[in-house]
Amino acid sequence: MIKPFGSDELNPLFVYDSEQHHALAAEAEGLPSLLVNSAAAANAVMLGAGYFNPLRGYMNLADALNVSEQMQTTDGLFWPVPIVNMADDVSAIGGAKRIALRDPNVEGHPVLAVQDIEAIEVVSDEQVAAMAENIFGTTDSNHPGVATFTQLGRYLISGPIQVLNFSYFQQDFPDTFRTAVEIRNEIQERGWQKVVAFQTRNPMHRAHEELCKMAMEAVDADGVLIHMLLGKLKPGDIPAPVRDAAIRKMVELYFPKNTVMITGYGFDMLYAGPREAVLHSIFRQNSGCAHFIVGRDHAGVGDYYGAFEAQEIFDQRVPEGVLGIEIFKADHTAYSKKLNKVVMMRDVPDHNMEDFVILSGTKVRQMLAAGEDLPQEFARPEVAKILMAHYQSEA
């Protein structure tokens, strides 16, 4: 199996030893507490799960600035986006060397992790704006990632962490949430040598289904990891339980048996386009995948990124040999009326746009809310039925 990113062995920050876990939990109750924001909580979950290997905790300001500008830490580790714990009030932890991080997303705010504080630094508005510009390519507050990042606070708390739980993800998604450790173990148990990963924050239509099958065939993979985001999204995105149900139904009916792992990870969507595509590739390598599908406008939002910027960044900004995972660059995929099958548009230069079955997201939502069937060339009917029930319940 492919090695993790940045180390020979995966080093998750979750405390697995039961005795040590119990002792740390008891200690945490007596430590000064910080109620972190959802972004910092998601970072803790990803660190605990091994997805952000080889990081040992939250970055300091120098590393955060360097990563945002140069895509590497001050000591030279390649990394695409800052992994930070930022807060707007640190009065409760002033002078503390060790603190309990409390979960904002779970009732009662249980301790999520324990952090050793190396520094608490003030981040200027100019530094926040510079980081936002580098990460997201814009400082437009209408960009959901920029809006979130610029409101995280102006105190940056750096240092290593030990993680005690995985927030709400294990409880709310017991059949889907998996750590990088668990995914690696399952790949090994299945005897798979080569796995291709597919990222999604949306339900999967026929084009996505066929793209996974095309990639598996192209790289001669034993299986595909359908890896869905389970954390916070922007308003209007389909909730994770609905996506989960739709994807499971599609896999059950339309994929060969024992070729798909359906899993999810606990992170809040950044909508950072190219930078997020690189982050996605790193934590799929940490999950044991040899290939990762990057499609049109991967991790994008609105018109902030060019159609294939998320592919181009791997050639332009990722040093050769840094990543062990290989990128499967996909074109826009749609059903061809001429050929009666789903194709990548680049493979059919003789086609015009009217030769494809393409629906905008807005049109799909309108049809489902109105109880209208989606074209079978666009969506499997069993999947569309699940989505229709969701949209009609929202209407």
What is the C-alpha to C-alpha distance for residues 143 and 369, in angstroms, rounded to an integer?
A: 26
Neighbours of 207 (CB within 10 A): 22
How many residues comprise the chain?
Answer: 395
Q: Which two tokens stand for residue 187?
A: 């790949």
Amino acid symbol at 243: R
What sign for the dihedral angle of Cα 280, 328, 175, 394? positive
Q: Which helix (H) or strand (E) holds 162?
A: strand 155-163
CA triplet 203, 208, 210: central angle to 5 degrees?
140
Amino acid symbol at 198: F
Fill in the DSSP letter of residue 177. B
Spatial contact of 101 and 34, defined as CB atoms under 8 Å apart = yes
Distances (CA, A) of 257 to 3, 159, 287, 307: 27, 44, 21, 33
Catalytic, out of 102, 178, 184, 201:
201
What is the C-alpha to C-alpha distance for residues 310 and 307, in angstroms, rounded to an integer?
A: 8
What is the C-alpha to C-alpha distance for residues 170 and 168, in angstroms, rounded to an integer?
A: 6
Q: Going by C-beta distance under 8 Å and a sequence separation of 6 or more, which residues neighbour residue 37? A: 86, 87, 104, 152, 153
What is the C-alpha to C-alpha distance for residues 59 and 73, in angstroms, rounded to an integer?
A: 9
**Kind of pairing between the strands at 223-229 and 356-357:** unpaired
Fill in the DSSP letter of residue 72. B
Amino acid symbol at 41: A
Q: Which two tokens stand for residue 348?
A: 């059919």
Catalytic, out of 202, 248, 317, 365:
202
Nearest Cα residue to 126 out of 32, 61, 209: 61
Residue 202 appears among annotated catalytic residues:
yes
CA triplet 252, 290, 40: central angle to 5 degrees?
85
**Kind of pairing between the strands at 98-102 and 86-87:** unpaired
What is the C-alpha to C-alpha distance for residues 49 and 163, in angstroms, rounded to an integer?
A: 9
Q: Catalytic residue numbers?
A: 201-202
